[in-house]
Structure 1
């Protein structure tokens, strides 16, 4: 699993596509081990490179995972359906007062990102949080074979 919080940074909230392609998507698509340099949000610096082995399925998690430039490389796109305000409140609770200013900038950046490059219309599956667990439904971008995009082969990794 790759968390996009490890790829983004204060300076590149959404301008990380090239780095993701060269460090992660390219190597995994060739069946090679990828390496990425995770960002430390408190220290405001990139850390030591980490390996991301090629696997039958690699989950890329986070805001921006369904962007236009990445969709051709994805086996499928899952959209976690959650009201923005609730999502932002969770993030603020997680990050605390220390990151308050970040969240003010993040909200504007996230809105601008999805206005220019919406992901939800392309989702193969919608994941809805319920009181007891999650419900998974076909997404707006689902095709008759949606949900069958995961490959379990010896070849290059599928990325969800």
Structure 2
């Protein structure tokens, strides 16, 4: 698939999307979903600004058949909630979905700093969950395609702060510390089936 621009970021994300789609096409679903044509799961992890949301959006465009995309930004319970949000996504979304059931979960309302409206992730669609912290030993067991995006800190920071501006700027280091804890505790790169270098 041709990249959308000559920019190295776009080219890397487009290549990653192509490789994920190839991996999904080659996989037979496992566990409770081991039937021909059944949906599959993809986890996308990486530090802030690495391109997770962009990759998930490109995959949604390319996906054959129905697909649900869950952004952990909708699950984290606030600025100190990286680990809690990742575990909530595993327990409340990934596990019931992997067992063939719809997954009901609550979106985090950042404006009110409280749980928000209920969301439903359909059992009959493939599932893509993207967000820092999503890839752990516990979650990896439920997703045959696991992506780690590597990107230099300066580039990540510029992208993240361009995207979220003043809302994120005061929290950058607070969030980065949680990401570093995730890297040390969970070793997500070692759990990935696909590692992508993003400029």
**TM-score, normalised with respect to structure 1:** 0.70
Alignment of 1:119 onto 2:188: yes
Please tell me whether residue 6 in structure 1 is matched to residue 74 in structure 2. Answer: yes
1:45-98: CA deviations, max 9, x gaps?
321011110135211111112112211111121112222332233222222213
1:16 equivalent to 2:74? Answer: no
- How far apart in 1 are the matches of 2:132 and 2:167? 21
Shift of 1:18: 4.2
| Structure 2 CA distance for aligned equivalents of residues 45 and 33 of structure 1 | 23
> What's 1:37 paired with?
106
Q: Partner residue of 2:26?
A: none
TM-score normalised to structure 2 length: 0.58
Distance 2:154 2:138 in 1: 26
Partner of 2:6: none
Q: Could you report, residue by residue, the CA deviation over 1:128-151 in whole angstroms, capped at 9, with x for unpaired residues?
A: 447xxxxxxxxxxxxxxxxxxxxx
Q: How does 1:95-106 map to 2 (within 5 A)?
A: 95-106=164-175
Q: Secondary structure at the match of 1:65?
A: coil
Moved more, 27-36 or 89-98: 89-98
Q: Structure 1: where are the runs of 5+ without partners?
A: 131-160
Aligned pairs, how many? 130
How far apart, CA to CA, are the structure 2 residues paired with 1:106 and 1:128?
21
Q: Structure 2, unaligned stretches of length 5 or more?
A: 1-68
